[in-house]
Structure 1
């Protein structure tokens, strides 16, 4: 494929990813330097198509980006007005956690909004285009262009390739998009960002990143149950003391509820299924009450970067920067990353404007600027909370969290993440197989019916974008030792162990992939490689939900 003649386009700045970080970077660049030529590409079919509704936005960064956002019609229509937190000791009991604002100030949502994040990104894209940013949805970055040790752009994925990689009748080669600087805003575990970190050793000297899998459902519930502006979080059952996670419920919009469940991917029991834990969590009375009698209308899943300050890599390299969740700026105790992603994009824009002026190859001031920002201060305050759960278990860590939060993280120690999530799995023989209840199709559902609600579109004959680096490893390691954990941690039924009574094999149903990237993270030997599929592929979450 090296002999393919590719069209070239050149810009001052190229941005990979149309989420809050990338769009905020583009907008801030245009605000600071209107003549800068900016191209932003997004692998989804349109901006927001890979983002299902329901998120809480802290408007700190938005206030800085657009002080007049209300006059501009930003879709922040549901202010938070009431919030509760519950500890669930078992499948029936619950304990309300009092004084949330003093015991856990990072969970305080006064002044925040429940939003459709997809619609918010669409609004940001409109603002960017009005400023002159060129936005190309449906284009995925498939290869880095590195010349003389410097990133000078990316190659977009070819369209119309056949399953074997050959050129089909509708083949269109990808373009070379070149720029003086490239910002990578791919989100959690971006395929190009991962290559960048290896190429430039950006993770050297920092803790391994640790992740969570967030599974989200959008529900339409009866009007008499709907309480716009209500937030609820819970932790405890159905997870055990050694598994990090919990649920959320956000009431917003027109009788809509965003329900979600996060499971930390540092769990050790290979029989655990985050999808099944999510489903049975809805049977608890404090969650069941809100959803019972409603209708599930959308489903998604996404990996989340939970490592915090200790796991942030070096942020700059010759020719570009990492921004947003590609760098890991999620504040896990807050369960929020939109405001920090936006701010990182804005700070990156300031560093790029400086670098364009001084003609620096590497925009190194970005790292310093981020360390001076409120994002760094916020993550420093929260740095011990997530690793405390891995260190002490949920019950003791909850007590520690209360103490650490009250003193705003001003303690003389820092806990660390010692192992990557894939290194935490233990042999299946050490655990009892978990027996999950069958779905009732009213509150709990199968993977198949869930994936259907994601409106997935993968061309059947395109190359498989989930690849085993070594085919022989699956049988000897994944099956023999861990009994095929990918069939349980994947929330979309992509992986299927077949012929298990004779000669076990792994079947990859890549057409089911909802782009959560959990397999790329949790595979025991890092043998599964998630690459971007053909541009425009994947889930499609419509606006207005």
Structure 2
């Protein structure tokens, strides 16, 4: 049944009215809600705020490196230390290392540009920070609905955004309501703030409907894959931060990796691959596994032969990263709402940091929405929000790094040299601008023009396969529901993607969702294992034909990250 048929049979949906509806319970969405309630308390008014979170709890779907710059948290909660915010491990040392297959070169500290300096920052679990922020939000009177995905945009008769509807529950694989069916509900707001994270399902629709990206560079993305390990205390250096470039990537592929020493003998390992890569045989997941075999990395994870405690892999996850920067930033307001955080693309790719930007933009949007609501307005454009951004420290920060990723289209050597000039010699005062012209999904070359990559088999100790990795991401979906990974044309994966690009969806997905399998007549078909999906959105971004559309599954489904 279509949604219209379901509404005709079971409707109308229950509707709840709020001053502000926030879609997404990450740092950006929670900062929006918190700031609204702070302003209401300061000025003796009442503003009703609700936050929708598709994960089973706030933080369940949050994955980031992460090093956090506390600048925005200082503004949101000047007393965050007293309140118990889990920023516990300050950065103690920075290393930028260029890798060859067996070699390494550490950049002297004197030559580290400011964007790679982390003095005053913290190695954190953004998931834990999100859970703490949710507690603060609820203590201020914010309503949080975990396990409810914003599935549908609602519009007023004049075309402005009215709010969102949550997804229906209890729809079977055949599209028919089951005995567990529950109709979704509508949440109406005077303003709706979208904070869904990178490649937000609704944000993507809003950008297209209101042409918010007109005149902008195409948005750029990367996929970040992360593992959390516990290692022997003898090789743990609390607060040590390592970034690497070079091997195993070739010089024309954007990417890099990190190794962060957290608290309690834990380290976060991660690998970032730009989704503008050209070789369809490349697998970001396999590149990450291969990176761990470099002597500089495996040293932290091995050592039983020297009497050390065996390292243990605790968690795994992946997510897309909106990495286009200021030049790809869409217009962030439209009648009835706004985009904040990674739903818009405020991440600073040169610093590999986005949480502080999400919090700051959530605060700025909240301040604009508060003035509008208490001034008797509704459903117009919150023009004060982008104006405040352009006058903020965040705009200055992003402007300094506006060319960072674009230089990598000219190769690692040129990018290293020019970003060094811009960030170190010029200190971000750059008199030129480099534009990108091609979206990531058009970057793939035909398989016939590329060399296959022979990745080693996993050993189960240092390197792993996708399925064992997905298992420790605690990913779960209700099995009897329609696939949330949909195809516009079911013939395209075999007739175009497999025939021309050797089936790249089987490699760019970090969760083993897509497999090409044989039919009885020996023909090929694409099998979609939707239950494996970790909601990274890579398929929605990188599919060369843009035939795959990621839709939200039933609320509460997906990964359940702990400590990530």
TM-score interval for Structure 1 and Structure 2 normalised by the shorter chain: over 0.9
Runs ≥4 in structure 1, deviation > 3 angstroms? Answer: none
Structure 2 regions of 5+ residues with no counterpart? 1-5, 303-309
Give the distance between the partners of 1:460 and 1:156, measured in 2 at CA: 19
Mapped contact 2:63–2:319 kept (Cα < 8 A): no
Q: Which residue does 2:307 correspond to in 1?
A: none
Q: Which residue does 2:190 correspond to in 1?
A: 180
Give the distance between the partners of 1:10 and 1:498, measured in 2 at CA: 48
Match of 1:411, SS state, is coil
**Residue 31 (structure 2) pairs with residue 21 (structure 1):** no
Q: Which residue does 1:261 correspond to in 2?
A: 271
**Residue 147 (structure 2) pairs with residue 138 (structure 1):** yes
Question: For 2:436, which of 411, 417, 420 is the aligned residue?
Answer: 417
TM-fit CA distance, 1:476: 2.0
TM-fit CA distance, 1:502: 2.7
TM-fit CA distance, 1:290: 1.4
TM-fit CA distance, 1:358: 5.1
Match of 1:246, SS state, is strand
TM-fit CA distance, 1:52: 4.3
TM-fit CA distance, 1:226: 1.1
Give the distance between the partners of 1:247 and 1:485, measured in 2 at CA: 22
Match of 1:70, SS state, is helix
Question: For 2:288, which of 271, 274, 278 is the aligned residue?
Answer: 278
Give the distance between the partners of 2:337 and 2:245, measured in 1 at CA: 39
Q: Which residue does 2:3 correspond to in 1?
A: none
Q: Which residue does 1:126 correspond to in 2?
A: 135
Give the distance between the partners of 2:101 and 2:112, measured in 1 at CA: 25
Match of 1:27, SS state, is helix
Give the distance between the partners of 1:471 and 1:224, measured in 2 at CA: 53
Q: Which residue does 2:549 correspond to in 1?
A: 529
Q: Which residue does 1:66 correspond to in 2?
A: 77
TM-fit CA distance, 1:51: 2.2
**Residue 327 (structure 2) pairs with residue 310 (structure 1):** yes
Mapped contact 1:52–1:298 kept (Cα < 8 A): no
1:183-214 CA distance string (max 9 Å, x none)? 00000000000011111111111111010000
Mapped contact 2:259–2:270 kept (Cα < 8 A): yes
1:428-464 CA distance string (max 9 Å, x none)? 0001111000001111000111011111110111110
Matches within 5 A, 1:42-191: 42-52=53-63, 54-88=65-99, 90-99=100-109, 102-148=111-157, 149-191=159-201
TM-fit CA distance, 1:410: 1.9
Q: Which residue does 1:481 correspond to in 2?
A: 500
Mapped contact 2:315–2:562 kept (Cα < 8 A): no
1:470-516 CA distance string (max 9 Å, x none)? 11222221011001100000000000011189311100000000000
1:2-61 CA distance string (max 9 Å, x none)? 312211111000000011100111111111124100000100000111124751110000
1:208-241 CA distance string (max 9 Å, x none)? 1010000000001111111111110100000001
Mapped contact 1:383–1:409 kept (Cα < 8 A): no
Give the distance between the partners of 1:441 and 1:277, measured in 2 at CA: 16
Question: For 1:10, which of 17, 34, 39 is the aligned residue?
Answer: 17
Give the distance between the partners of 2:376 and 2:393, measured in 1 at CA: 26
Mapped contact 1:213–1:265 kept (Cα < 8 A): yes
Match of 1:471, SS state, is coil
Matches within 5 A, 1:217-232: 217-232=227-242
- What is the count of residue pairs matched by the alignment? 541
1:311-364 CA distance string (max 9 Å, x none)? 000100010000000000000010000001100000001111122215151111
Matches within 5 A, 1:295-444: 295-356=312-373, 357=375, 359=377, 361-390=380-409, 392-406=410-424, 407-444=426-463
Match of 1:479, SS state, is helix
Give the distance between the partners of 2:370 and 2:328, measured in 1 at CA: 27
Quick one: structure 1 residues 477 and 274, their matched pair in 2 at CA, closer, same or farther if it must change by over 3 Å? Answer: same
Give the distance between the partners of 2:524 and 2:422, measured in 1 at CA: 48
Question: For 2:512, which of 493, 507, 522 is the aligned residue?
Answer: 493
TM-fit CA distance, 1:163: 0.8
Match of 2:67, SS state, is strand
Give the distance between the partners of 1:37 and 1:389, measured in 2 at CA: 45
Q: Which residue does 2:37 correspond to in 1?
A: 30
Mapped contact 1:17–1:40 kept (Cα < 8 A): yes
1:248-290 CA distance string (max 9 Å, x none)? 0111121110000000000010000000000000000111111
**Residue 540 (structure 2) pairs with residue 520 (structure 1):** yes
Give the distance between the partners of 2:291 and 2:561, measured in 1 at CA: 24
Match of 2:153, SS state, is strand
1:115-166 CA distance string (max 9 Å, x none)? 1111100111111111100001000000000122011110001111101221
